[in-house]
Structure 1
Amino acid sequence: MDEDFETLRVERREDRTVVELYRPEARNAINARMIAELHRVCAELEEVPRPLLLTGHGTVFAGGADIAELRERGRDEALAGINSRLFERLHRLRAPTVAAIDGWALGGGAELSYACDIRIATPEAVFAQPEPGLGIIAGAGACWRLKELVGVSVAKQVLLGGMRLDAEAALRHGLVARIVPSEELRESAHALLDRMAASSATALRMTKMVLDADGPHPLADDLTQAVLFESADKHERMTRFLERKKR
């Protein structure tokens, strides 16, 4: 286990890398430090491609982005695509990626899981995109990746209607590959990676390259978010959210 990380627990094996999101005090919320550390992991996997298993510490995958940080971001930060560029980098890793999700995958946490190739969940898993309630869009991939994963109708129900996808709904709509008990989650994810390891690593990488197609994203997401990040409505909504958390 690599101790040179603050927000991640990273285990490097010969045929895979295992990353655990680790901010137990904040439900593994994604902050700037975690983004930077995930970039470091991506850089390693770009240099030496290995399958990646991504999971969360405890009984939550990731409770969204850090709202206190988001509240202070403005147009320039939105155009920089702080989260979206990382998730796109993760999506473009040459070796397969698997997200093992237990509990909440909210906002940016859900978008992080969408960027992975395959998702496995426990019965307690829940995917949701609460961003419009905070005055912004789900600007790190949900507005286009979710549509590709579950279809336009379901994506609009989640993004516009605030619908949460529990594990059964996520399985029914193809967002997750299977549901397994919480105590079997990592074992099941490793079993999937074991099957991948039995295949040609080059063939897997080439298959993934052919499957993935380019689009106008994430530029469109970043431009839209840049407008919203400057709005008073966004700041007021996030302030109310943070004040409720203090009570």
Structure 2
Amino acid sequence: MPAALHVTETEDRLVVELHRPEVRNAIDRRMVDDLHGVCGDLEERPRTLIITGSGGIFASGADIAELRERRRDDALAGINSTLFARIAALPMPVIAALDGYALGGGAELAFAADFRIATPRLRIGNPETGLGILPAAGATWRLKELVGEPLAKEILLAGRILTAEEALDARLITSIHEPDELLRAAHDLADRIARQDPLAVRITKSVFHAPREAHPMIDQLAQAILFESDAKFDRMQQFLDRKKGS
């Protein structure tokens, strides 16, 4: 059976291409299991993750043939939601490079990323209610946080599918690139992340996602850790040296 993912890794990042072109990269249980394997690797050795799709499509949704056969216990197991929560919680940033369709579970996977960039061909949304179900892997709460309640309700309750320009206007994505430039743009963003101190990035991501009531104490504790790091002293000294030499 062909691999559901194509994975390329370097010292500071890992690129995952969803690869089920025969079904427009629909997310099935095998792909979910493979992505859990990716998460385990990145939890053990933190690096930036870039997720993209093959054949001009990110992910057309969950595999409907498989989804049709799922029952109550499958829903309660949270097959997709458990994975997407794990992706969102990865130590280093996650970049979703979106081309073509990012629908249903594909959209929810994109919502779990820290950054979303796209091509002009993007069509993103959650048509689940048209199939007699709801988007139960994060869209009902992540989307409201990302685009606000009125637009989230239009997407979730009325089946609105956003174009790339509409997604950019809503700040659901941060930039639009031609298809042959999309992956390069994702790598450029990963390069910017790589220029930061990795520990500072990891801790900042954790603090960013902490509940409101945890602040400001968690900020102070996190800063206390970073104030003692070698990178803080080295990077600040380099800054002072550059300033002195300018």
Query: What TM-score results when the alignment is normalised by the length of structure 1?
Result: 0.84
The aligned residue for residue 62 of structure 1 is 59
Superimposed CA distance per residue, residues 117-164 of structure 1 (whole angstroms, 9 cap, x where no aligned partner): 000000000102110011110000100001000000110010011111
SS, match of residue 73 in structure 2: helix
In structure 1, what residue type is equivalent to 2:14?
Answer: T
User: Is the contact made by 2:51 and 2:95 (CA closer than 8 Å) also made in structure 1?
Assistant: yes
The aligned residue for residue 117 of structure 2 is 120
Cα distance between partner residues in 2 of 1:5 and 1:206? 37
SS, match of residue 137 in structure 1: coil
Say what the alpha-carbon RMSD is for the aligned residues.
1.3
Q: Give the superposition deviation at 1:214.
A: 5.5
Q: Give the superposition deviation at 1:213.
A: 3.6
Cα distance between partner residues in 1 of 2:60 and 2:169? 23
Residues 135-174 of structure 1 aligned to structure 2 (within 5 Å): 135-174=132-171
Q: Give the superposition deviation at 1:100.
A: 0.2
Cα distance between partner residues in 1 of 2:34 and 2:98? 20
The aligned residue for residue 108 of structure 1 is 105
Cα distance between partner residues in 2 of 1:169 and 1:72? 34
Unaligned runs of 5+ in 2: 213-246
The aligned residue for residue 28 of structure 1 is 25
Q: Give the superposition deviation at 1:5.
A: 7.2
SS, match of residue 6 in structure 2: strand
SS, match of residue 160 in structure 1: helix
The aligned residue for residue 39 of structure 1 is 36
Question: Among 74, 88, 92, which residue is 1:91 paired with?
Answer: 88
Between the two structures, name the one with larger relative contact order (CA 8 Å, sep ≥ 6): 1
Residues paired across the two proteins, number: 212
SS, match of residue 79 in structure 1: helix
Runs of 4+ in 1 over 4 A off after TM superposition: none
User: Is the contact made by 1:5 and 1:37 (CA closer than 8 Å) also made in structure 2?
Assistant: no
Q: 1:214 to 1:37 in 2, by over 3 A?
A: farther
Superimposed CA distance per residue, residues 103-122 of structure 1 (whole angstroms, 9 cap, x where no aligned partner): 00010000000000000000
Query: What TM-score results when the alignment is normalised by the length of structure 2?
Result: 0.84
SS, match of residue 65 in structure 1: coil
